[in-house]
């Protein structure tokens, strides 16, 4: 169970890190903050590319930073945008790799929590590592 204090910490971390978003093409800045089961927080921002399709989202940057530091268990992720946008399909899939119990906090830049939803609800009938069992 996530405490209100942790919720606020995650949202504030995502708001603060969003300043580093590199989004000169869309001007849509995204900040994310991923909480591990061990209590560490990894932040991430979107990094766009002139080749457009090689852009990477804030959520995936946070996940890849964490996994590259040896983390594999996650409790929650906060995603902050100016209008409370929801994680894209590619990010949902990458997050699903590490468990569908993940809590997703969708917030805006004023710190308002717009939605709190589990990954299981955000990505129903997910293809997960178990799907490869034969």
Q: Which is nearer to ligand THU, 85 or 99 (CB)?
A: 85
- CB of residue 80 vs ligand THU: minimum separation in angstroms? 10
Count of all residues that appear for the chain in the document: 134
Q: Which is nearer to ligand THU, 19 or 134 (CB)?
A: 19
Binding mask 58-87 for ligand THU (x = CB under 6 A): xx-------------------------x-x
Annotated catalytic residue 69:
no
- CB of residue 57 vs ligand THU: minimum separation in angstroms? 3
Among 2, 40, 82, 88, indicate the residue that binds ligand THU (CB under 6 A).
Answer: 88
Interacting residues with ligand THU between 4 and 63 (CB under 6 A): 23, 26, 28, 30, 46, 48, 55, 57-59
Q: Which long-range contacts (CB under 8 A, 24 or more apart) does 9-14 make?
A: 9/33, 9/41, 10/35, 10/41, 10/76, 10/77, 10/78, 10/105, 11/78, 11/80, 11/105, 11/107, 11/111, 11/113, 12/111, 13/41, 13/43, 13/78, 14/43, 14/58, 14/78, 14/79, 14/80, 14/107
Which member of 59, 69, 73, 97 is catalytic? 59
Catalytic residues: 59
Which residues contact ligand THU by CB under 6 A?
Answer: 23, 26, 28, 30, 46, 48, 55, 57-59, 85, 87-88, 91
């Amino acid at each position: 169970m996530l405490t209100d204090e942790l919720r606020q910490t995650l949202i504030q971390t995502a708001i603060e890190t969003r300043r580093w978003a590199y989004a000169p093409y869309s001007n849509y800045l995204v900040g994310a903050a991923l909480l591990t089961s061990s209590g560490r927080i990894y932040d991430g921002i979107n990094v766009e590319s002139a080749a457009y399709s090689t852009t990477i989202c804030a959520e995936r940057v946070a996940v890849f930073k964490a996994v590259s530091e040896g983390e594999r268990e996650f409790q929650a992720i906060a995603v902050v945008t100016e209008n409370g946008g929801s994680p894209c399909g590619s990010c949902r899939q990458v997050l699903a790799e590490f468990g569908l119990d993940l809590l997703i906090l969708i917030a805006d830049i004023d710190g308002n929590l717009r939605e709190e939803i589990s990954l299981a609800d955000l990505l129903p009938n997910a293809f997960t590592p178990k799907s490869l069992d034969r």
